[in-house]
Amino acid sequence: MAKHPAKSIRFMAVALIVLIGCQAAPQNSGPEEGVLLVPPTPTAAITETGEALTQTQTTQTAPAVVKRPAGAGAVYQDPAQPVEARVKDLLGRMTTEEKIGQMLQPAFSSIDPKTVTQLSVGSVLAGGDGNGVDTPESWLGLIAGYEEAALESRLGIPLIFGWDAIHGSGHLKGGTLFPQDIGLGATRNAELVQQVARLTADEMAGVGVQWNFAPVVAVVQDTRWGRTYESFAENTELVTELGEAYVRGLQSVDGTINLNHPLAVLATPKHYLGDGGTTWGSSRQNIFDHPFMLDQGDTRVDEATLRALYLPPYKAAVDAGALSIMPSFSSWNGTKMHGNQYLLTDVLKEELGFEGFLISDWEGISQLPGNSYDQVVKAINAGVDMYMGTEWQNFYNQLDKAIENGDVPLSRIDDAVARILRAKFTLGLFEHPLADPEAFDRIGSAEHRALAREAVRQSLVLLVNENQTLPIAKATPLIFVAGQAAEDIGLQAGGWTITWQGQEGKVMPGTTILQGIQELAGSESQVVYDRYALFNDAAEAQGSLAKADVGIVVVAEKPYAEGVGDEADPKLSIVDLALIEQMRERADKVVVVMMTGRPIEITEQLPLADAWVAAWLPGTEGHGVADVLFGDYEFTGKLPFTWQRWNAQLPFDFASLPTYGCDAPLFPYGHGLTTKDKSPVMLECERP
């Protein structure tokens, strides 16, 4: 495909600035204003030959970087050597302090590049928010700066930079956003999901991000959970199939698993184990004065159920080559997952043969019982291999102390670091640690957006279509469109878009649903948009208010992420309900397009519209919705979750769920019409 000269020039300019900055920075310069540096901690002194002195011979500052003579022919520097030989060689050269450094993943906002060099930090992440960093150019420069700093460490161990690209690279303004996983689940198309993951990895590689904290392979049993949209489905088999496809897409190029390829990134199936099955009211977390109800709660099932319902996606991911897995914030029968040695080590690492490493969730270790020392000891001995968060200095100090006290054996540290190094060697980071310039050129490319548009088309689920209201004829004389969501990329994308919680408005370049409708409607058709469905300016020749042939109302949930989205009563907002009622008066036929992260209660509103479409959270390519509304493509999506008749039915008891009558769900799992199908008979049921 054609290259983008302007992007290529920007890539080279940023790379040159980073290189000059790394070469010109004085070794002993102080930190930039506002940058947090690690406090003095005991660290082993290093000799000129790279050997550590005895543990009792310590200094109170990080050692100066001592350059080895180009690796001196070290086995670990030779890409021709087997991965395990390289791991063994490098591990044997490392001090205990360097090993602890490899077990750190600080947020970039909490550590500066100089400290990365001093401590041989293993990883850096960008959390949900970029702290003002959002363009591809700014991310490219920031990430390269940290990577160059890691390469300046005594042994030159590259770091691995990670972030949550759960629906495309949501940190990149100008990148491509695909439908959230709930929409991909509706496609039931594993090949498409693998392609989505592949292009997500491609855009990550363009700025130097080598690690994706995805996919979420939760088997969600209660859609009131605020992370429902991050899941593919309520069905174990479908989650397993699509989760494996996503892992393969991230870690392969041209369909072949090859993590050593510069365009492959490390996948992280999460959140192990049972996070989709927590009990309402069992969480103790509270953020933004919003008490969590399900997120980070307790999964109360026996082991047979835990294994049958929630374990298969992880087995498939491990078999597909996943080398990183994230434990859940949640608990199993009262035991926090970050401290569950049986599930982390005995089941995952030994029984399933997982050879990769376990990365904690954000400050997940601090949720364990006891003081911070006890928490670190418990988590590391249970099997957590790397810490994630901003309190990394405390983790460093507590782990250092635990090793000295013998509460965490060095053999456990060696195991953790070997797992981390194994992933780095397999990824080829020692050979290509920096961003790929050609991939940078492809960020937000027409090719990527075309796939996202296709994913949107396949994700749409037609719930109701009375009197074959859909598809809409392109020659329809007058079409009304209403709702803020019709022209709001932020509402289309949902959470994890530029910021953790997401936000309304034009947060990303993209095509809104309204723009798609305007582009596809025929030249003889008039499209009139009114956010509030008033249409006061649309009048007949005689002066009376015009009535549209078709009215399209686009409604949406406000963006949210994680437990902030836990909701006891998911339903249409008062504003959106008013829009539908108003449109019913102004159009002969009414179509409602819902952009939500889960099924919401709509039973009483169904008679107000002729057609109802679940569009989920489609991302940046809203014209994919218009493609199907106008009949250029048929509806093919199927519900990945059972749709409640009333919220009081949640959570469902799937073992005894009625299939018909007022106690049955509104729409069953797998429901989805084509425009040629007859709509199901809607029962008149009283609210229980």
Which residue type does 384 have?
V
Give the C-alpha separation, 157 to 98, whole Å.
10
Residue from 454, 487, 562, 621 carrying the catalytic annotation = 562
The helix (run of H) or strand (run of E) holding residue 268 is: none
- Residue given tokens 């994706």 in the structure block: 212
Residue from 97, 112, 202, 361 carrying the catalytic annotation = 361
642's CB contacts (< 8 A; 6+ apart) are: 234, 599, 652, 654, 657, 665, 667, 668, 669
Asked if 121 and 159 count as a contact pair (C-beta separation under 8 A), the reply is: yes
226: three-class secondary structure by DSSP: coil
Which residues are bridge partners to 530 per DSSP?
Answer: 482
Nearest CA-CA partner of 683 in 612, 607, 611, 590 = 607
Which residues are bridge partners to 162 per DSSP?
Answer: 125, 211
Alpha-carbon dihedral angle through residues 317, 321, 323, 328, given to the nearest 10 degrees: 0
Q: Count other Cβ atoms within 10 Å, centred on residue 687.
A: 11
CA 328 to chain CA mean position, Å:
14
- Residue given tokens 């990945």 in the structure block: 640
- Residue given tokens 């994230």 in the structure block: 326
204's CB contacts (< 8 A; 6+ apart) are: 163, 165, 169, 210, 212, 265
Nearest CA-CA partner of 641 in 296, 231, 312, 292 = 231
- For residue 361, indicate whether it is catalytic: yes
- For residue 677, indicate whether it is catalytic: no
Show the beta-strand stretches assigned E in 116-218: 123-126, 160-163, 211-212
Show the beta-strand stretches assigned E in 68-189: 104-106, 123-126, 160-163
How far lies 182's CA from each of 67, 171, 233, 243, 351, in Å?
49, 20, 7, 12, 30
Q: How does DSSP assign 629-674, residue by residue?
A: HTTSS------SSPBPSSGGGPSP-GGG--SSSTTS-SB-TT--B-
Pick left, alpha or beta for residue 627 (phi over 0 → left; psi -120 to 50 → alpha; otherwise beta).
alpha
CA 134 to chain CA mean position, Å:
16
- Residue given tokens 């199908």 in the structure block: 677
The helix (run of H) or strand (run of E) holding residue 25 is: none
Nearest CA-CA partner of 326 in 357, 363, 290, 291 = 357
454's CB contacts (< 8 A; 6+ apart) are: 192, 624
Give the C-alpha separation, 594 to 556, whole Å.
6
Asked if 507 and 489 count as a contact pair (C-beta separation under 8 A), the reply is: yes
Asked if 388 and 110 count as a contact pair (C-beta separation under 8 A), the reply is: no
> Active-site positions?
361, 562
